[in-house]
Structure 1
Amino acid sequence: MDAGASQCDLVLRALVVDDEVSLAGVVANYLKHDMFEVQLAHDGHHALELAREFDPDVVILDIGLPGIDGIEVCRQLRIFSDAYVVMLTARDSEIDTVVGLSVGADDYVTKPFSPRELVARVRAMLRRPRRSSPAQDAVARNAPRRFGALVINVDSREASIDDARIMLTRTEFDVLALLSAHPGMVMSRQQILESVWGGAWVGADNIVDVHVGHLRRKLGDSTSTPRFVMTVRGVGYRMGTG
């Protein structure tokens, strides 16, 4: 296949996890209609078993599952999978959003929602570019980006500090790769949203702040004196020198 082929031309796998059987079935049907291969799970244990066997590209995951809840499922999923995760929550509260994103979710949707819009959002998420341009890719392969003790290899999608690998989610790495591609340049939240989440994103821009917060914690950055991801008050973020 041509390296420039659209991801929409590939058969993508989706795992839908929700104890509301009818809702899970409706979401699954919309995904199937959009040419996804779909598996269903209605509890956390089964979801983790299927995720290991099915290796999904995206997981639609309800927070309020019986037994192992969606937060713990996402936490365990991140040990062995880098699938995109969209959390479903019945409560439109900030704490649900923050907790869901803190364990590695990429997006969240509050119930009730339109299955058609959910599928469109999933498609937009899966179309997110992993590289900026062929020229930047060539540079990345030959010269990893270095910021003091932090080394970022865009080609292999790895980051390390003092040779110790930092385990980042897809979204966290995408934010870091974007900022490190433009050292010294301030990126606004809107620019980060458009580059990482895509133009179809319809949520609040504080999702950028949440992911930057998780990224900083994993990089060992303090909120008051960060070394790698700097806040430019009232504007956005930029890479520091380390």
Structure 2
Amino acid sequence: MKQETILLVDDEKEIVNLLDIYFRNEGYRLLKAYDGMEALDYLREETVDLIIMDVMMPRMDGIAACMEIREEQNMPIIMLSAKNSDMDKILGLSIGADDYLGKPFNPLELVARAKSQLRRYHRFNKDTPVKPSENELIFEDLVIDIGKHEVSVDNRKIKLTPREFSILELLARHQGQVLSMEQIYTNVWSDPFLDGGNTVMVHIRNIREKIELDPKRPCYIQTVWGIGYKLDRPS
């Protein structure tokens, strides 16, 4: 089995070295960078399965680096930050991060979150052959190719993060059925719901901005006020 590679990006070398120990003990291959520009240099040369990246760094911060990475690649990104307000978390998720963990954190929790992200990422990107009827979920001109982890609208390829893809797939598998924010969160994040409502709303907004011609008048993902969301024609 191929050894998975994690890129650690943080200007605090003590944190990087500590996490290096924890993840190497779990059998991962580690790359270490100390700002966003160094992380981008690694990604031009290396195949990376997961990125763990601090927000506040010199030269290029984590937000700018995450945005640039998302232009080309869809591996999971976990953001770390000493800023723990809801708005900081929403910003991190809205620019393409898949998870957000405040500092200080328990390294064992970060390891657990990383494993969860990697399982989900490889499940959606595995090369196991499937029948065409099982491989694609279709709604109107929206096509979700499960095997290739690709989405297209009217034959136009759409770049989604792994988390966005998981949400859209979940809605597509329950077309016309209203799913609550709690159902979406627990299915996609595999964590207790707690305060996950804002997280779901941010991801739904991001998906709409990518697949809808007019996100304010969605043709695919409909809001059912007070309940949740569904993939359906507008009423």
TM-score over 0.5 for the alignment?
Answer: yes
Report 1:156-171 matches (<5 A): 156-171=148-163
CA–CA distance in structure 2, aligned partners of residues 78 and 223 of structure 1: 20
Letter in 1 for 2:134: A
CA contact (8 A) 1:125 1:198 kept: no
Letter in 2 for 1:140: E
Counterpart among 115, 127, 131 of residue 107 in structure 2? 115
Residue aligned with 1:176, SS: helix
Moved more, 27-36 or 92-101: 92-101
Letter in 1 for 2:177: M
Match of 1:56 in 2: 48
Q: Tell me if 1:225 matches 2:225.
A: no
Rate the CA distance shift 1:138–1:12 in 2: closer, same or farther, 3 A.
same
User: CA offset at residue 161 of structure 1?
Assistant: 1.8
Rate the CA distance shift 1:57–1:210 in 2: closer, same or farther, 3 A.
same
Match of 2:5 in 1: 13
Residue aligned with 2:71, SS: helix
Match of 1:154 in 2: 146
User: CA offset at residue 222 of structure 1?
Assistant: 4.4
User: CA offset at residue 221 of structure 1?
Assistant: 5.7
Residue aligned with 2:97, SS: coil
Identical residues among aligned pairs (%): 36
Counterpart among 61, 77, 83 of residue 69 in structure 1? 61
Match of 1:140 in 2: 134
User: CA offset at residue 182 of structure 1?
Assistant: 1.1
Gaps of 5+ in 2: none
Residue aligned with 1:130, SS: helix
Match of 1:204 in 2: 196
Q: Tell me if 1:88 matches 2:70.
A: no
Q: Tell me if 1:125 matches 2:117.
A: yes
Rate the CA distance shift 1:222–1:127 in 2: closer, same or farther, 3 A.
same
Q: Residue deviations 1:88-114, cap 9 Å, x none?
A: 111112222122112210000011101
Letter in 2 for 1:106: D
CA contact (8 A) 2:124 2:147 kept: no
Count of residues in Structure 1 that have an aligned counterpart in Structure 2: 229
- Over the aligned positions, Cα root-mean-square deviation in angstroms equals 2.3
CA–CA distance in structure 2, aligned partners of residues 235 and 34 of structure 1: 40
CA–CA distance in structure 1, aligned partners of residues 4 and 194 of structure 2: 23
Gaps of 5+ in 1: 1-8
Q: Residue deviations 1:193-234, cap 9 Å, x none?
A: 222112478763321111011001111264553210111222
CA–CA distance in structure 2, aligned partners of residues 71 and 217 of structure 1: 19
CA–CA distance in structure 2, aligned partners of residues 63 and 234 of structure 1: 33
